[in-house]
Structure formats: C-alpha cells, structure tokens
C-alpha cells in the first residue's frame, strides 16, 4: 500500500464495506466465473477485462462467493501491509497512527 499513511487500513477495518452481492443493484449477468470455482453458468459481476501475454483479452467476471473471497483476500493484504507500515513508522521514531482529527506530531 504505497502512498497511504500508516494505520489507515487498520482504522477502516472496523467499517469495512461489504463486497458486491447479487441483490445489491449492480449489473449481474449469467456467465462464467473466472476465479477459483470456475462455474460456467452462474450469476457473475463484471470486474474488468483480463488480458494475457500476447494481448488475448476476456471479460473478467466473478460469481458472488468468489467476489467475497477476493474481497477478503484484498482486505487481508491491506491489513498486513498496513501493520508493517505502522511497525516501520514506530521503529523510525514516527510513532503509531494518530486518532482521527488529532494534530500532526511535531517534526
């Protein structure tokens, strides 16, 4: 997580947004899940376009359970990176994250 102040993900985790669900108003369609389960005819959400080496592209669609797994994996990664950033800041004498609205520490 480059460019993010240490502690941001830790603070946001308490209010972690929910991942997309089939009844959430997003444009779900029926198709193939391109992630772990590999289901062929299931409700899927388009997340973008996937492209391989050589320029072959396909719509990157994911089913609800795989959206949940991807969401959790990304948050787990963000939390791990954030903990490391907080530890590095503390080791460098920068202290830990400051509460929201707290004045910045003096240089």
Nearest to 82 by CA among 7, 16, 12, 15: 7
Alpha-carbon span 8 to 106, nearest angstrom:
20
40-73 tens-digit pLDDT: 999 999 999 999 999 999 999 999 999 999 988 8
Give the mean pLDDT of 21-37: 89
* Average pLDDT for 81-107: 63
* 8-28 confidence digits (pLDDT tens): 666 666 667 777 888 888 899
Residue 90 to residue 98: CA distance in whole angstroms: 12
Q: What is the pLDDT of residue 97?
A: 53
27: Cα separation from own chain's centroid: 20
Q: What is the pLDDT of residue 1?
A: 42
Q: CA-CA distance, 93 to 106, in Å (whole number)?
A: 12
């Amino acid at each position: 997580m480059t460019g993010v102040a240490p502690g941001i993900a830790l603070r946001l985790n308490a209010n972690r947004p929910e991942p997309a669900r089939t009844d959430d108003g997003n444009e779900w369609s029926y198709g193939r899940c391109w992630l772990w389960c590999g289901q062929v005819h299931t409700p899927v959400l388009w997340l973008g376009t996937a492209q391989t080496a050589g320029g072959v592209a396909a719509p990157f669609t994911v089913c609800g359970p795989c959206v949940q797994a991807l969401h959790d994996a990304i948050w787990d990664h963000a939390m791990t990176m954030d903990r490391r950033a907080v530890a590095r800041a503390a080791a460098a004498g920068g202290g830990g994250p400051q509460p929201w609205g707290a004045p910045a520490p003096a240089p």
